[in-house]
Structure 1
């Protein structure tokens, strides 16, 4: 139930927003004070030993009633929309390789919300079957992001050709099944343990401080006083100054813009979707005023979520 204090902020902000924002405010109000699901069913992309599994287990800390793996990113979205799971855990950004674009694109096409985030430190290793070595390996398989994050190692081992695979742990499973010392995978120590592989080289990632940020998706927002990060997506009119005019509302209302990223808009050549992260809570009238104006000036707008940020850690 919405508290009187929150209702006062919401109703006060309506007077300052443009006409037509009541539906937007109702969407926000539905998520205020919403409690997290107890003993939830959680889904992630990949198989046991993947970084997705690690993020899901660390974030939910053993409180999940079930943790289920799915082959593709969109399989997690679909399972969540069907109510098969309560939360989905997916990678959205890596500190070395950048955004996971497929997940960003899926967000624009769904009616799900981000309710949390989790950051893990990624350490990549070269994994092979018994008897393999760096000298015998001629092919390495892994997720394209992992390959990109190990580009210096691969550059210094020119005899090794890299091939993309759906997931780091799936690649490890594939190598274990091939039993070929000329083939290897890039993955975690847990994947090596699970699939009986030898660790041929440790910590082959280019950047020592290599982190991946995962988002926690739900069918509804969960806005609490601890929610201090807002994610949104929008498109602007294709004219001079349109993006500047929208971004100015954050500055006018004293809000700190944390990140901006653009992606081509599906089915609209040379038009773009902008993804923004901004510091703030949706109970704050200034935040509501800024977002209301952004929404009015956008040709398309989606509130992605308001959630507690995950501090940078050295796990």
Structure 2
């Protein structure tokens, strides 16, 4: 047999293995694609059917145009403490400002005891009472009035769902500035050591809820809330969390409400993915006082004007 024929026969013997390898790769590709499509459809159904809730106070179509045009966005984050038989109160209020052109993100906390006019109620009270009086819509209108801004979207999260979300992303890491020991949210108790610590769901809940052991009171508490939210965003958006998407979707479906639909979220993910490169975290400053025996946090007009400029600043 000639050298050429032996070479051809050898090539023919190898070809089936190449063919089977290609078939295996194709099957794997189809499997991965099918799984991705399943997750996509599951996420789409969960968002559009369980999470998406429009509110009269926000122009939804304007928000869609802004996202598609990659314009700055203002999103109200509401952490709601709602239990059986209770209308609930907004335990955390933050304005998330996104500037995709300059890759900037600002997370601004509004102290929950802030005294302001409750829009639609016509009285001055703590800003977190707006939710108890009129739900999400009244909270949005009141924050817009206080800061003289327009909100494009809102995201409301049940605070108890925060525990599940931290566990769903596989835990988070935060830089703790204050050492303490807590037994309130973790069966065996937990030592919050100073420095970088890893937290699971119940530990994260204890971390954001503690206030009385903190010399900075609500100021320190809201700072920890911002830390946990930023940590969840970082962990949830990482490649390592891809295999946790199913759990994350399930948690969101049970604990979250927003006027974003699935298309909005998808556009936000792609068009605003780099805003975390430059993050500013801030809490509105004022002073505490008692009025008719009730504690309030008073924020001066100069501070409100400063925060208004921070939110509307572009570039």
Give the shorter-chain TM-score range: under 0.3
Instruction: Give the TM-score normalised by the residue count of structure 2.
Output: 0.23
Instruction: Give the TM-score normalised by the residue count of structure 1.
Output: 0.23
Give the number of the structure whose alpha-carbon radius of gyration is greater: 2
